[in-house]
Amino acid sequence: MRARQWSIWAACFMTCMGSLGTTSLSQEPAMATPDQASNEAAAADEVLAYDKEHPAVGTWLGTATSRDGATPFVILRVSQDEKNDWTVKITALAAGMMGTACSDIESDGDSFAFSVAPLSLRLAGTVSADGQSFTGQITRTDDGDGEPTPPQSFDLHRTLMPNDAPEPLAFSGDLQAMGMEIPMTIVLARTPGGNWVGHLDIPMQQLREFPFTNFKTADGGKITADLPVPGGAAISVTLDELEQRLSGFFLQAGMEMEMDFARDMNYSYRELARPQTPVRPLPYEEIEVTAPHPLGFSLGGTLTVPNNQEFGEGPFPVAVLITGSGAQDRNESLLGHQPFYVLSDYLTRHGIAVMRYDDRGVGASSVEDMSLVLEGTSEDFATDALAVVNHIKTMDVIDPERIGLVGHSEGGMIAPLVGQMTDDIAFMVFMAGPGVLGRDLLVKQTELFMEVAGVDAASIKEQSAIRRKLYEMVADGETGEPAEQVLYELFALQEDDSEAQVTQEQLDAALDQARQTLFNKWMTYFLAYDPAPALAATTCPVLALNGTLDLQVWHEQNLDAIERTIKDAGGDITIIRYDGMNHLFQKCKTGAFAEYITIETTIEEQVMADMAEWIKTKMGAPG
């Protein structure tokens, strides 16, 4: 899968590989093994107490079998209020769901069923006689008149969350990862049978009460547990005698990160301050949209339509938002920020309709054939935007002559590709879009991050030469042993330049993940891609924006190239360079990743105001 945003060890590959879009951890979903599907309480055959009148109530962990045979890890939380109203929330990171609300809930004794609307799935099963397991079948609800999809299965086991246990122990601290401080809290508790349970909170990644599994204890009070996230992670920790400190290691991607967390006696989950995130009710209409794709899947999203009392009945100009690299939801959510939600709200309040959609394989844009996600390139993802355009142009509230594209990061590279596929695009906005060869962009990006991290100039120069050679080989289709040798050479050089002690096992694990990151179709396409031809062929007006502290897409390299290419081709180009703003268009000090989480502003209002004014000037939008 394109690199997901969920990331603890986000900066690990920034130094080695570079990243165009949001920070990333793993390239494919984690597949939970049966022994990971339950916590130690279940493994030890401890029978946990439960509501015998409503046996489905509780927290369930386990696996679901997908059509392609994968077994993604699933968390299910079922509750019932005093009015006997049910609430079911499901988390499956491999499917892009975290706390997704379920619907059409039915309960009849030990039988329980519900629907997961974003994925068009229905789960129906039975709670075991002892109340400890919940198993059943998964069917699709959108087969229509076609050949029905064979049912799949799920196998979940009851667990006890720490906050539901007596005397939970919360330990808070900062995990240090490549110059980033990642605040997190680990909450542990013992079940009535004396077994450990626990969960992890990381507000910066909107991770809340994510359970650890497969707890084990050893002599000396050592506790190990797995974290079933994409790519896999684990902890190996020890409690002091007074249970006031939790020390040890966080393990991920072959790396060991030291932990020394202190007891947090009055702990409660701390929501991140994001004052720009819209709060409902909103003063305009929201329409849920499902756009069919020629390859057989659909793209789900939200169309926001300006208030008709303020702006008339329409039809309205519309901006279709295209996310950056990585499989992202319609809001482009990361680190508690929801940039596309904020942007769509602003533009809609100023008379411009906005369509934002989940990337293929995420949320409501479910895909049965995961190869369409795993092997997709930027050109493939351009067909997704085209499918959305083709669908919304038939809607009465949309003016088909005033459809535009707003692409962030990789989205700014995809927009001109869409423009080559259709004549329906009336304007484009590039938010930190690429203007040079992909390999040149990544080399420069990594150099800038190394500079901010304090790496000396000689090391940067030496590593960049090897990195450029590696990227050129991959761009030319050389992904065999010669390219792997250059990759190993790069890792060895980085190890020499680093003060960290890395074991061979850790190096092998990092190399394996680097191979997955580098030698895949998306990266090969990106490294070889030259945006100049598509930019030169763009005939509609273009607004290109960049921050001067954007270290991911350097303005002097890319914004200048975009302006030069379009001008030389006789196109209509406007550029705006924002002093002191980063890749997310936040005012910042250095542009480093570590600042993204600490800055409360999601997008500077001036950027959105400039965009809205430019669109209205070019398109004659009301307001």
Contact 324, 289 (CB under 8 A): no
Decide if 34 is inside a domain: no
Q: What is the CATH number of the domain that holds 70?
A: 2.40.160.90
- Are residues 300 and 342 located together in one domain of the fold? yes
Sign of CA dihedral 358, 364, 365, 368: positive
The torsion angles phi and psi of 295, rounded to 5 degrees, stand at -85, 0
Decide if 109 is inside a domain: yes
The torsion angles phi and psi of 112, rounded to 5 degrees, stand at -150, 140
Name the domain boundary from 104, 128, 159. 159
Three-state SS sequence of 315-363: CEEEEEEECCCCCCCCCCCECCECHHHHHHHHHHHCCCEEEEECCCCCC
- Are residues 359 and 415 located together in one domain of the fold? yes
DSSP letter for each residue of 59-87: EEEEEE--TTS--BEEEEEEEE-TT--EE
Decide if 410 is inside a domain: yes
Strands 573-578, 542-547: pairing kind = parallel
The torsion angles phi and psi of 208, rounded to 5 degrees, stand at -135, 125
- Are residues 515 and 422 located together in one domain of the fold? no
Q: What is the CATH number of the domain that holds 234?
A: 2.40.128
* Single-letter residue type at 129: A
| Domain tally, the chain | 4
Decide if 240 is inside a domain: yes
Within 10 Å of residue 495's Cβ, how many Cβ atoms? 14
- Are residues 412 and 447 located together in one domain of the fold? no
Give the pLDDT of residue 13: 33
Name the domain boundary from 133, 159, 185. 159
Decide if 15 is inside a domain: no
Give the pLDDT of residue 232: 83
The torsion angles phi and psi of 557, rounded to 5 degrees, stand at -85, -45
Give the pLDDT of residue 14: 32
The torsion angles phi and psi of 110, rounded to 5 degrees, stand at -80, -10
pLDDT digits (tens, 9 = 90+) for 335-351: 889 999 999 999 999 99
Decide if 10 is inside a domain: no
- Are residues 408 and 339 located together in one domain of the fold? yes
- Are residues 301 and 382 located together in one domain of the fold? yes
What is the rounded distance in angstroms from the CA atom of residue 588 to the CA atom of residue 607? 14
Comparing CA positions, the residue from 171, 230, 181, 238 lying closest to residue 201 is 171
- Are residues 420 and 550 located together in one domain of the fold? yes
Which residues lie below 8 Å from residue 342, measured CB to CB, with a gap of 6+? 276, 277, 278, 602, 603, 608
- Are residues 252 and 400 located together in one domain of the fold? no
CA distances from 156 to 36, 132, 133 (A): 11, 9, 6
- Which ranges of the chain have pLDDT less than 50? 1-43, 623
Question: What is the maximum alpha-carbon separation in the chain?
Answer: 75
Structure tokens at 537: 């062929």
Which residues lie below 8 Å from residue 288, measured CB to CB, with a gap of 6+? 300, 301, 302, 303
Give the pLDDT of residue 185: 96
pTM: 0.78
Interior angle at CA 78, CA 76 and CA 83, nearest 5? 165
Burial of 606-618, coded b for 16+ CB within 10 Å and e otherwise, reads ebbebbbebbbeb
pLDDT digits (tens, 9 = 90+) for 511-520: 787 888 888 9
Structure tokens at 430: 């590039």
Decide if 12 is inside a domain: no
CA distances from 73 to 31, 33, 63, 334, 478 (A): 7, 9, 5, 21, 35
Domain holding 448, by residue range, is 438-526
- Are residues 557 and 429 located together in one domain of the fold? yes
Average pLDDT, the chain: 88
What order do you get walking across the sheet with 425-431 strand by strand?
285-292, 298-305, 353-357, 316-322, 398-408, 425-431, 542-547, 573-578
Comparing CA positions, the residue from 313, 304, 312 lying closest to residue 284 is 304
- Are residues 155 and 168 located together in one domain of the fold? no
- Are residues 450 and 481 located together in one domain of the fold? yes
Decide if 153 is inside a domain: yes
Comparing CA positions, the residue from 314, 315, 333 lying closest to residue 323 is 333
- Are residues 80 and 167 located together in one domain of the fold? no
Name the domain boundary from 159, 180, 200. 159
